[in-house]
Structure 1
């Protein structure tokens, strides 16, 4: 390890300090891609990629495009052969660490904005977003695709509902709480310019869980 460089390993991610600057070094491997294997039955709903090269390409493409309502960390270096991406470290609070209903409101607005831009995330879990200085950054987007496919957008909406529930498991079994989260999410998705047509499909897929 070079002198003056400290490393903290977090699975496939290293946070490296270089001359006082924190840099996130993310290594993509096919072995780590196995975590997505459980989603094979859902590939008709979303085009998940399991390969390291595919996930790196998707993350790079998303992070290097401008987005109106979400910030992205600066990319310092990409090694396509070794499949390594180095980006800026974002200090802040994850959406998964705030009140879950507030997280639902913010996530709905993010998805509405990205869907208008023609992007789908595939993995919109709250821990992939960080609030920093009043702005929201995305720090993991290795399944993001540019598409107008409405089925993929519906996947973003439905998976968000279940991913948000993971952060409040006890309340998630209460019908009123599920309805409250559904309405907060839906209202804010519409207010942010999301499609009412997609929300109708979203409701149809969730109505049995909202009872």
Structure 2
């Protein structure tokens, strides 16, 4: 084989390598979302009834009656890219499969709505500083745990109803400007070292019995 013949065979291969790659062709269409006889979601566009899947970027879940924009890549591969129009009264549902994370770099994220609801099996909130401002708040749960180095509660009225209250503290100081009243069926005050009662007027009233016992009893 001569050198000329070798170059002639190599030239077509070189031309094939230089040919640009062709992109996969796609066809856009517009249709109405519906269901077929088997209950599967389809898009009706003209005389065609196409089984379509929602694209990952289309977070708004299509509903029956929606006008949608679709991309047809193959005869049996149709993707719903966007919801163009929706009938009034149909709920808007944003849905995605798998984990979802919203990240905002160097800015703030705000949610504004007449009502915001959160429903989850587990809710975790981590923040350096948290501020909640509301006119009325209701917190309902079966079990609560509040742990903090310093806890401060300020208000005008505090009302609590408990079946049982158990309190332990190393030091307990309480100051009341007005009336401090305790009503109980049985009341006990016990001190290991010193028990002191002091007042400008001190009244002790026992309907049936008053008993004082000690190694020494001093009056006056």
User: Normalising TM by the smaller chain, what interval?
Assistant: under 0.3
Larger Rg: 2
Higher relative contact order (CA 8 A, sep 6+): 1
- Identify, as 1 or 2, the structure richer in helix: 1
TM-score between the two structures when normalised by the length of structure 1:
0.21
TM-score between the two structures when normalised by the length of structure 2:
0.21
